[in-house]
Structure 1
């Protein structure tokens, strides 16, 4: 079935794009506030590392082979990392820029600092969802294409269990 492979390629490409956007916006934030202590920039450094890992793995698994489905444990781990980054960024925002899902001024390139920060949060959220969906697709594909279990001793009779005669 080619539909699952097409969906996998689309998911990996979207993961790559969203991780690149998060890496760019977070990198700009780190560049603008580079004189701050690394302890206060820790959540942004963590988000940048998760984005870099996501870019690496999405590029690696963008190749459309069936082996890219068996990496669903790494997809789950990266999804959990993205959820943690999302939580860290939301915790930092608090109420300083208004309601977290009020996206009136959200723009990753041009806009005020709150708009860029909310764009970073939005693409972090979307990336976490995409990695989770990719993991679920991998679990589905692996369970569907699992080889049949082979018994140690083959059956001797070919009849149904209720048609067998007693051998007593």
Structure 2
């Protein structure tokens, strides 16, 4: 059980870091969009909302109690939300003239495309962390709720002894 708690803390810390990076980059994009450069305002706001929810929940659930494993359905929902954010970021790459989706060459100037692709990468990593946390939570929850050998009755009947 101690190993699962350590893995859970590691996953929650990874979720926090990825969400904080995406929150910072998306806030920068929203600032740039507001000051006239144009861009995907709706996608950016969606990512900011998901990142805020992720930062708060990962900080709260980083506390190592057993109840943190019972929230695995919410972990799965946040994983799906991060995969949707990743898809929204990838889909906009074609309109932004930043090259292909997986074309990572020439990203050293610190420009708009570099930050967009970094946001895309951290959104995908965050989705993977939330999915791994879902799998760990489901495993711990179902392992903990499994009945012992002493609590089962034989052939579905009560024992009269």
- Same fold by TM-score greater than 0.5: yes
Q: How many Å apart are 1:103 and its aligned residue? A: 2.7
Alignment of 1:80-159 (within 5 A): 80-94=80-94, 96-106=97-107, 111-148=110-147, 154-156=158-160
Task: Give the distance between the partners of 1:81 and 1:9, measured in 2 at CA.
Answer: 21
1:105, 1:111 within 8 Å by CA — same for their partners in 2?
no
Task: Give the distance between the partners of 1:105 and 1:129, measured in 2 at CA.
Answer: 26
Secondary structure in 2 matching 1:33: helix
Against the structure 1 CA distance between its residues 105 and 119, is the aligned structure 2 distance closer, same or farther, given a 3 Å change threshold? farther
Large movers: runs of 4+ above 4 Å: 149-153
Task: Give the distance between the partners of 1:88 and 1:43, measured in 2 at CA.
Answer: 6
Alignment of 1:1-168 (within 5 A): 1-35=1-35, 40-94=40-94, 96-106=97-107, 111-148=110-147, 154-156=158-160
Choose 1 or 2 for highest CA Rg: 1
1:162 matched residue in structure 2: none
Aligned-pair Cα RMSD in Å: 2.3
Q: What TM-score, normalized to structure 1? A: 0.83
Alignment gaps of 5+ in structure 2 = none
Q: How many Å apart are 1:35 and its aligned residue? A: 4.7
Task: Give the distance between the partners of 1:74 and 1:27, measured in 2 at CA.
Answer: 25
The total of aligned residue pairs comes to 154
In terms of fraction of residues, the more helix-rich structure is 2
Against the structure 1 CA distance between its residues 98 and 50, is the aligned structure 2 distance closer, same or farther, given a 3 Å change threshold? same
Alignment gaps of 5+ in structure 1 = 158-168
Task: Give the distance between the partners of 2:107 and 2:64, measured in 1 at CA.
Answer: 34
1:19, 1:55 within 8 Å by CA — same for their partners in 2?
yes
